[in-house]
Structure 1
Amino acid sequence: MNNFARGQKGKLADLGVGNSFAVDLDIQAPGMSVDVSCFGLDAADKLSDDRYMVFYNQLASPGDAVRLELRTGGARFNVNLDALPGTIAKLVFVAAIDGAQTMRALGASSLTLGSALRFPWSGSDFGDEKAVIVAEIYRKDGQWRFGAVGQGFNGGLAKLLEHFGGAQAAPASNTPAAAPQAAPAPAAPKISLSKVTLEKRGDKVSLDKRGGAGFGRIHVNLNWNQSGLSTAPAPAPVPEKTGLLGRLSGAVSGAMGGAMGGRRRSGGIDLDLGCMFELADGRKGLVQALGNAWGDYDGAPYIKLDADDRTGTNTGGENLYINGDQFAQIRRAIIFTFIYEGVPNWSATDGVVTIAVPNQAPIEVRLDGGGSQMMCAIAMIDNQSGQLQVTKMAEYFEQQGRTSAHEMMDRRFNFGLRWKTGSKD
C-alpha cells in the first residue's frame, strides 16, 4: 500500500484502483463528536446539486454513487464513479468537529483508499480549525485522480456547506405568518444539518408524525471503537457469566450466554444490541441475538434485529429496526447493549447509538459512563399519546450473585420477564 503525504496526487488507474472502491476515514477523537461528509462538486467546485452531499442526514447520493456507513471513530464511503452524472467533477471528503474542541485535539488519523493508498494525518497538523478538508477525488483530462489535501478550515460543517455553495435549511420559526401573497416559484431544496444529541441522563426529545402518517422505518444503530484499546492496565479476568432465556406470552427473552470462549479476539470488544419491549396489549419480551430472539418487523413485536455480526468486526455496527407505521402497537422499548466479548471497560468502547427516524433529525446517545459492568440500558423509546419520545438512560448493570445483568436491568424497569439459560451458539 502506498503512503501519501499532504499535497501528493496520483491517477487512480496508476494506483490500480477501479471505478468502485471504499474510502475509509479513521479518526482518533476521544471524547469528541466528529462528523464526516462527502461533497459532490461540479466543475466550478460548487455543490450545485444538494443530493450529492452525503453525510449523517443523507446517507446516499442518487444511484448509490456514494453511500456512507457511519461508525464510531470514522466512516466508510462506498464509491461507484460509474454511477456519478457528468455534472459531478469532484468528490471532497471532509471532517468537522461538533462541539467546543478544535482539530488540534485529534489523535493519529488516516484516510485509506481501498488497498491502494493510505494518507495519515493528525491534530498536530492543525491549529484551532473546526474542520479539515481531508482529500479529494477529481476528474481531469478524462481520468479520475486522488489528491491528499489535509487542509484545515476555520468553520464547522455549516461553514463548509456555505463554502461549497450549498444552502442550509433554516430552523423552524414561531414567527406569525404574514398576509397571504402570490406563491413564489418553488425554491431549491435545502440541506438540513440538524441532529439531536442527548447529553445527560434523563434528557429527552419527542417527535411528531410527519403529515399525519406513521413514523416509517426507524433505524437504531450501535457503533463503537471495536479495537477496544486502552492505555489503562487490563483488569483481572472476569468469570464467565451464565445467560438466561425465557418466554412470556409467546415473546422470547434472553440474556448473556455462557459460551464466551472460543471466539475471543485479543484486545477487541464485541457489543451486542437488543431491546426489551412492552406492547400496547400488555405483552412483554425481548429482542436480541442470544436465544435467536430476532423479533419481527411486520408482525408483533414490530421490532427486528439485523443479523448478528459474530466476528465483531462489521464497521456498520449492530442494527435494529422498528416499524414506525405500527408504533401505536408499541408502548415502550428499552434499547440496551452488553459486552458479549472482550474486556468490560465502557470507557474503551466509545460507543454511540443513533436513532434515525425518516424525515427527522437523527438522535444520538453516547455511552459515556459506566465502569466494569457488562450491560448498559442506553435509551427508552416510548409512546406518549402517539408521540415518539426518546430518553437517554445510560444506566449500567452487572451480575449480582446468580442474578444476571439482564435480570438486574429487567427488575429496574419492571418488565417482569422470566429467565433461563441460553446462548447465541
Structure 2
Amino acid sequence: MAINLSKGQKIDLTKTNPGLSKITVGLGWDTNKYDGGKDFDLDVSVFLADANGKVTRESNFIFFNNRQNENGSVVHTGDNRTGEGEGDDEQIQIDLASVPADVEKIAFTITIYEAEHRNQNFGQVSRSYVRIVNEVNNEELIRFDLGEDFSIETGVVVGELYRHAGEWKFSAIGSGYKDGLAGLTRDYGLQ
C-alpha cells in the first residue's frame, strides 16, 4: 500500500524496500473546465543535480526533446500533450543502481508549455500528483498529491529523489515558480 506524503515530508525509499532498483515515477494532472479556450500542454522535466544542486551537463536535463541521460539510467517515456484520461500523464523510468555517482539529486518538475502566451497558470490545474512505483511488481510505494495551493505559478518542483548515506530518499517539495521553465533551468544551473 502506498504511503501518502504531505508537502515537506521526506521518506526513505530504498532502505524500507531492500533490493529496489527499477522504479517508475508517474506524474499526472487535470485542467479545470474553464481554460481560456487554449489547449493546455503540461510537461515533465527532470534535473539530475550534483551535491550543490546544479546540473553539470546538459545531458542531465531530461525533457521531451532529451529523453534520457548519458547512460540511460533515467528515461522520459514521452510527452503527453493533452493530459486527458485516467492515470499518469507522463512517466520517468529510473534504474537507481545505475544512476551516475555524481548525481546526488533527481528533481521532478512540471511546467506549462507557452504559459505566458496562452495566459495559463497552475491555478487552472487540479489533481496534480507524483507517485513512485516498483517496476518489478507494479506496486505503488509513494504518492504525493500537490493540492490546490497554486495561483499564478507556471512551473512546479513536485519532488526530489536524493541520496543519503548510500540510500535513496524522496522529498515532497510542491514549490511553485512564477517564471516556469526559465526559472527552473536558471536555479538548477543551466542557461
Give the aligned residue type for 2:130: L
Shift of 1:33: 1.3
**Contact kept in structure 2, 1:15 and 1:116, CA below 8 Å:** no
1:110 partnered with 2:110: no
Shift of 1:117: 1.2
Give the corresponding residue for 2:14.
13
Q: Larger relative CO (CA 8 A, sep 6+): 1 or 2?
A: 2
Deviation per residue, 1:80-135 (Å, 9 max, x gap): 1222211110000000112221111101121110010111123x211211110000
Give the corresponding residue for 2:44.
36
Give the aligned residue type for 2:129: S
Secondary structure of the residue aligned to 2:186 is helix
Q: Distance in 2 between matches of 1:162 and 1:109?
A: 24
Q: Distance in 2 between matches of 1:154 and 1:109?
A: 17
1:54 partnered with 2:62: yes
1:97-246 matches, within 5 Å, as 97-98=112-113, 99=115, 100-114=119-133, 115-122=140-147, 124-167=148-191
Shift of 1:164: 0.6
Q: Distance in 2 between matches of 1:13 and 1:164?
A: 25
1:83 partnered with 2:98: yes
Q: Distance in 1 between matches of 2:65 and 2:183?
A: 16
1:23 partnered with 2:25: yes
1:45 partnered with 2:69: no
Q: Distance in 1 between matches of 2:21 and 2:124?
A: 35
Secondary structure of the residue aligned to 1:104 is helix
Shift of 1:46: 0.3
Secondary structure of the residue aligned to 1:116 is strand
Q: Distance in 2 between matches of 1:89 and 1:67?
A: 17
Q: Distance in 2 between matches of 1:35 and 1:24?
A: 12
Deviation per residue, 1:340-396 (Å, 9 max, x gap): xxxxxxxxxxxxxxxxxxxxxxxxxxxxxxxxxxxxxxxxxxxxxxxxxxxxxxxxx
Deviation per residue, 1:300-355 (Å, 9 max, x gap): xxxxxxxxxxxxxxxxxxxxxxxxxxxxxxxxxxxxxxxxxxxxxxxxxxxxxxxx
Report the number of matched residues. 166
RMSD, matched Cα: 1.4
From the superposition, tell whether residues 5 and 89 of structure 1 become closer, same or farther in structure 2 (CA, over 3 Å).
same
In structure 2, list runs of 5 or more residues that go unmatched: 33-38, 84-88, 134-139
TM-score where L is the length of structure 1: 0.38
Runs ≥4 residues deviating over 6 A:
none
**Contact kept in structure 1, 2:15 and 2:167, CA below 8 Å:** no
Secondary structure of the residue aligned to 2:14 is coil
Secondary structure of the residue aligned to 1:63 is coil
Q: Which has the larger radius of gyration?
A: 1
Q: Distance in 2 between matches of 1:165 and 1:52?
A: 11
Shift of 1:13: 2.4
Give the corresponding residue for 2:109.
94
Q: Distance in 2 between matches of 1:14 and 1:47?
A: 26
Shift of 1:158: 2.0
Q: Distance in 1 between matches of 2:7 and 2:100?
A: 28
1:177-326 matches, within 5 Å, as none
Give the corresponding residue for 2:137.
none
**Contact kept in structure 1, 2:5 and 2:145, CA below 8 Å:** yes
Give the corresponding residue for 2:36.
none
Shift of 1:58: 0.3
Shift of 1:15: 4.2
**Contact kept in structure 2, 1:40 and 1:90, CA below 8 Å:** yes
1:65 partnered with 2:73: yes
Q: Distance in 2 between matches of 1:63 and 1:14?
A: 24
TM-score where L is the length of structure 2: 0.82
